[in-house]
Structure 1
Amino acid sequence: MSWRMPAETAPHERTWMAFPREGMTLGGTDAERDEGYAAWSAVARAVAEFEPVAMLVDPSETVRARSLLGDTVEQIAAPVDEFWMRDHGPTFVVDDERPGVLGAVDWIFNGWGAPGWADWRLSAEHARAVAAHVDAELVSSVLVNEGGGIHVDGTGTVLLTETVQLDPRRNPFADRARVDAEMLRTIGATTAIWLPRGLTRDYDEFGTNGHVDIVATFAAPGLVLLHAQPDAAHPDHAVMPEIRAALDGATDAAGRGLEIIELPAPAQLRDAEGFVDYSYVNHLVVNGGVIACGFGDATADDRARGILRDAYPGRRVVTVDARPLFARGGGIHCITQQQPALPRVDPPRSADDAPGAPAIAGESTEQVQR
């Protein structure tokens, strides 16, 4: 079999999320907890305008989830500790030789390098639970990795960062060749583009050590959206040229150079914890739309919407305030995981069917589209 991770722009069956539960990530006060619940719920409702949303909900949060989400989101009971679904949930893949088969990559998840503060052992089981729920074939991996640590173009190219997959707290014996081979086996990536690092805030105690999904993403094969920090007072102003240089010198799986479009950061440089990592790259592409991060900066938010509209023609861009998410360590892309739609596979006709006979009324031989 030959697994391939489709581009995020391909049609989705649904988006997966996990509902927050009380703990350090959510916050220590009632106000902080309420803010976190509201932020996750706002993203779920925004996505649900475009496609179905399935939410893993810890039994302790069932009543609250129902009150905040109503009937707009499918809720599935499952033990939850961390709730960054992109990272501990499955990475979905397809097999082009078996059009009706869905695969689910189960990376090893150790809480972004097994830091002492992380509660991750329950959520490390989510990939298997979700795979069973949707009847996907499980693709087990021995690599410690998170969904936020990869971005693909759907045609064989994957973006990685050296400080994530080669992190000794994750994979102490890995090298590029071993990671490249595992990317080929699990998600069908024939070409890995290695970026040297991620954004500055991501290397704090509670960071991921350089996830790529806050730095760069493919809007289409050969087209990369790249974070930009125009203010020299922010340390990422010096970081981004190094990252851009790696992309400028790269070629994708088709052998072409990359066109790069920059997404400038908003004007705010700091919050109570230090320099922010506010990034419009951390958006989610959905069926017919884009769920974009907003940062309370009308000028920058509007500029980002315009860039995203141009980069994803024909999609409606919806902005959701992402500051409560970033305050907790991530963004909209980090809390969501898309499940690709599979093509419709009609049963074979009987031997009595005449060649060229029309399909049964109501059936379609076209691929699922939204």
Structure 2
Amino acid sequence: MSDFSPSRRTVLRSAAGVGLLALGGAACAPFDDEPTEQPPPQGATPGRRFGAEWESHARTFMAWPASTGIWDSQLPDVRQDIAGLARAVAGYEPVVLFARPEQAEAAQRACGSQVEVVPLAVDDLWARDTVPVFVEDSGTLKGVDFNFSGWGNKQKEHGNDTRLAAALLESHRIPRIGTPVVAEGGSFETDGQGTLLVTESSVVNERRNPGRSRDEIEGELKKALGVTKVIWFAGVRDQDITDAHVDCLVRFAAPGVVLLDQPFPGAPEDVWSRSAAQAKEVLRDATDANGRPLEVIELPQPDPDRITGRGDAFVSSYINFYVANKALFVPRFGDGDADARAQQILRDHFPGRDIVPLKIDNIASGGGGIHCSTHDQPGTPAS
């Protein structure tokens, strides 16, 4: 079994290979406390809905990167990026940022008074994966705890993040939905109308769900999230710590419309470009939960020779954007033409929202992006 670096996503900037660091980690069992609600045994749970990101938000959750053991000398710069992102999102909706108690004061100074910093033990910044996935259940907000395990125990330091979902739900008095599936929030993308997009590599995975077939996992996802149609992509195994989350590959822009990550024209073919090509083939023949074919809009990456970020793990993908109330936050990579093109594509498909480009080179160097660093809590349910 391979070991992995702390990076959440490795994108090859050239034909060069990826250096991997040895990391271990103890297995983490799912929570099994008495208040946990278990979904019924068959099909999608009636009355339960996993809403789309473009719907109303009550707040955005984020986390303060805590450990030099994970980020080493990059930690101050990564914190600067997270603080800037938190301040930007807070201009549009409430932001709650969790920080270790001994780091909370410094986090508050960095983020400013508009961001609410809550002392709670965390390990890293990837709130998309560690915060519960929220659903509406017969008009009540609930959170699905997907038993975060450090991406299948690839990251050694993740004990606090494993407990974050349950701690958040308890502190906010939100009912917790248990599931036997081990996954992360970045594994899932939905149109809010019953369709779920997932990469097989990140969920049908022996590190996370040993012995479980795709059909078994799909059944559990339908129960937990209330979705009725799951569209699977092959993804990429064992090349990054997430095993290729879908939120760096395909995103919904509206029901029936998806945005697909595309490598920069002329870039060398690699596992990631082949993954995008396979996803395009799947989408060509796919229909959503309502039987509609899917319109596919390509969102090309920037020129790797013109971006300002560096590092083997750098994620130069615009697809990892975040939709907030009245705004959409997208990376700005320094290739002026590609940045402008991506912003215009997003402006065309999210009309009425401010398109806010942000430089996040330090976050991206760790293998993630804006979406990976944020997690939305639903607000007023859609009619």
Q: TM-score range by the shorter chain?
A: 0.7 to 0.9
**Post-superposition offset of 1:127:** 0.9
Give the match's secondary structure for 2:128: helix
Tell me what 2:117 maps to: 75
Aligned residue in 1 for 2:168? 130
Match among 269, 286, 290 for residue 250 of structure 1: 286
The C-alpha deviation readout for 1:3-42, integer Å capped at 9, x for no partner, is 21100010000000011112233x322xx22211101111
Q: Which of structure 1's runs of 4+ aligned residues deviate more than 3 A?
A: 236-239, 269-277
2:78 is the counterpart of 1:33: no
Structure 1 position 203, deviation (Å): 4.1
- 1:252 deviation in Å? 0.6
SS of aligned partner of 1:80: coil
Residues 291 and 317 in structure 1, CA contact (< 8 A), matched pair in contact too: yes
Question: What are the Cα deviations for residues 191-214 of structure 1, in whole angstroms up to 9, with x where unaligned?
Answer: 00000114xxx843x521110000
Q: 2:268 aligns with which of 229, 233, 252?
A: 233
- Residue number in structure 1 paired with 2:248: 214
Q: CA deviation at 1:60?
A: 2.2
Distance 1:239 1:128 in 2: 33
State the match for 1:8 in structure 2: 53
User: What is the rounded CA distance, in whole Å, between the counterparts of 1:275 and 1:53 in structure 2?
Assistant: 27
1:280–1:293: 8 Å Cα contact kept in structure 2? yes
- Matched-pair contact (CA < 8 Å) for 2:261–2:299: yes
How many Å apart are 1:238 and its aligned residue?
3.5
Q: State which of 312, 323, 340 in structure 1 corresponds to 2:361.
A: 323
Query: Where does residue 23 of structure 1 map in the other structure?
Result: 68
In structure 2, how many angstroms separate the alpha carbons of the residues matched to 1:152 and 1:76?
Answer: 29
Tell me the equivalent position of 2:196: 158
TM-score between the two structures when normalised by the length of structure 2 = 0.83
* Shift, 1:43, TM fit: 0.9
Task: Name the structure 2 match of 1:91.
Answer: 133
Residue in structure 2 matched with residue 302 of structure 1 by the alignment: 340
Give, in angstroms, the shift of residue 342 of structure 1: 3.2
Q: Report the Cα offset of residue 2 of structure 1.
A: 2.9
CA apart distance, 1:334: 0.5
Deviation at 1:275, TM superposition (A): 7.2
TM-aligned CA deviation for residue 272 of structure 1: 5.6
SS at match of 1:144: coil
8 Å CA contact 2:315–2:369 kept in 1: the answer is: no
Residue ranges of structure 2 left out of the alignment (5+ in a row): 1-45
Q: Does 1:171 align with 2:209?
A: yes
- Please point out which of 97, 102, 110 is paired with 2:141: 102
Inter-CA distance 2–173: structure 2 relative to 1 (3 Å threshold)? farther
> Distance in 2 between the 1:160 and 1:222 partners?
16
The residue identity in structure 2 corresponding to 1:217 is R
Q: Secondary structure of 1:290's match?
A: strand
| 2:205 alignment partner AA | D
Greater C-alpha Rg? 1
1:279-325 CA-partner distances (Å, limit 9, x unpaired): 11100000001011111211111111100011111111001112211
Taking the aligned partners of 1:176 and 1:239, their CA distance within structure 2 comes to 18
Distance in 1 separating the partners of 2:274 and 2:224:
34
Structure 2 Cα separation of the partners of residues 325 and 118 of structure 1: 19
**What SS does the aligned partner of 1:145 have?**
coil
User: Does the 8 Å contact 2:314/2:367 carry over to 1?
Assistant: no
Secondary structure, aligned partner of 1:113: helix
Cα 1:111–1:302, aligned 2, differ >3 Å: closer, same or farther? Answer: same
Distance across 2 between alignment mates of 1:36 and 1:183: 33
**Identical columns (%):** 36
SS at match of 1:62: helix
Matched, 1:189 2:227: yes
**What is the root-mean-square deviation of aligned Cα atoms in Å?**
1.8
The structure showing larger relative contact order (alpha-carbon pairs under 8 Å, at least 6 residues apart) is: 2
CA contact (8 A) 1:81 1:123 kept: yes
Equivalent position amino acid for 2:131 in 1: G
Cα distance per residue 1:36-68 (max 9 Å; x no partner): 110111111111111000011101211210210
C-alpha displacement at 1:273, in angstroms? 4.3
Pick the aligned partner of 1:45 from 87, 91, 97.
Answer: 87
